[in-house]
Amino acid sequence: MKTVLTIAGSDASGGAGIQADIKTLTVHKVYATSCITALTAQNTKGITGIMPVPPDFFEEQMDSVFSDIKPDAVKIGMIASKEQVEIIAKYLQKYSIKQVVADPVMISTSGTVLVEEKVREVLYEKLFPNISLLTPNLPETEFLSGGKITDRKTREKAAEIIAKRWNCAVLSKGGHSEQNADDFLYEKSFESRKKVWYPACRINNPNTHGTGCTLSSAIAANLAKGFSIEESVKKAKDYISGAIGAMLNLGQGNGPLDHMWDL
């Protein structure tokens, strides 16, 4: 069986973070391992508390997993400290992990920068060069490329700038767009440059808690199974559209997805 390691925070309400990742990986029939970066007290109405895991104990988890069940792919979500970034980069290099999907939780939907500058520097210098696919949402695509996105052309250019800076593939997610929920992939290899749009209608459902976590875990599962990045994103996009479209309605706020919609 293929295995995927998720490095992320715990979401007590089960819709995002580690819990969303393990559900997604399990329905994709890969074996999930997990290294927890932080405990969060959150539900569909918001986050009330974050307790980061101290670096030593975070490293102990990483060591337990990597020294025993080496992952075929790694998915990275919320990171709680600069030290954790350094530890993750160290293990990805030490164990030569090739399939690494990172969801850079950096900018809130309202445009607030969530990661302080000191942590950003380490992300840029140590972690991003070890990533195979970065999955920024629209505000993060703008922030990481340093340019304003006004249309498809400027979005393509922004993804290309990010991909060239860190030598990775980039999936710019369109969940925060005012129009459709189209995602755009820029992938450069030795021989070619791929620019792929994944069109999707916006689903009128307020329950989208955990979409970023779920999409990146689904991509990691497909990569672990041996699909290309382009195919892995296509399958993951179909999966996320189904999980949002199943219209699960739990909790009093921005509810979770139906991870089991196609079982």
Ligand X SMILES: Nc1ncnc2c1ncn2[C@@H]1O[C@H](COP(=O)(O)OP(=O)(O)OP(=O)(O)O)[C@@H](O)[C@H]1O
Ligand Y SMILES: Cc1ncc(COP(=O)(O)O)c(N)n1
Q: Report the catalytic residues.
A: 173, 208, 210-213
Distance CA 246, CA 148 (A): 33
With CB under 6 A as the contact rule, the residue among 23, 209, 237, 259 that binds ligand Y is: 209
> Using CB under 6 A as the criterion, what x/- string covers residues 64-103 for binding ligand X?
---------------------------------------x
Closest CA to 160 of 148, 150, 170, 174: 170
Within 135-194, the residues that bind ligand X by CB under 6 A are 137, 173-176, 181, 183
78 binds, among ligand X, ligand Y, none (CB under 5 to 8 A by kind): ligand Y
Stretch in the footprint of ligand X (CB under 6 A) among 31-39, 83-91, 158-166, 195-203? 195-203
Number of residues that bind ligand X (CB under 6 A): 21
Contact between 211 and ligand X (CB under 6 A)? yes
Query: CB under 8 Å to 226, separation ≥6 — which residues?
Result: none
Q: Measured between alpha carbons, how far is 57 from 53 in angstroms, rounded to an integer?
A: 7
Q: Which string of DSSP letters, residue by residue, matches 62-118?
A: HHHHHTTS--SEEEE-----HHHHHHHHHHHHHTT---EEE----B-TT--B-S-HH
Question: Which one among 34, 40, 44, 130 touches ligand Y, defined by CB under 6 A?
Answer: 40
Positions in 43-82 near ligand Y (CB under 6 A)? 77-78
Judged by CB under 6 A, the chain residues 76 through 105 that form the site for ligand Y are 77-78, 105
With 0-12 / 13-18 / 19 or more C-beta atoms within 10 angstroms meaning exposed / middle / buried, residue 249 is: exposed
By CB under 6 A, is residue 222 in contact with ligand Y?
A: no
> Helices 55-66 & 82-94, crossing angle to 10 degrees?
20
Please state, as a whole number, how many other Cβ atoms lie within 10 Å of the Cβ of residue 18: 26
Alpha carbon distance 145, 217 (integer Å): 24
Residue with CB nearest ligand X?
Answer: 175
200 binds, among ligand X, ligand Y, none (CB under 5 to 8 A by kind): ligand X
- 213 sits near ligand Y (criterion: CB under 6 A): yes
Gap between the Cα atoms of 94 and 63, Å rounded: 11
Q: Which of 8, 10, 7, 13 is nearest to 40 (CA)?
A: 10
**Binding region for ligand Y (CB under 6 A):** 8-9, 11, 16-17, 40, 77-78, 105, 209-213
The binding site for ligand X (CB under 6 A) comprises: 103, 137, 173-176, 181, 183, 200, 202-203, 205, 208, 210-212, 215, 237, 240-241, 244
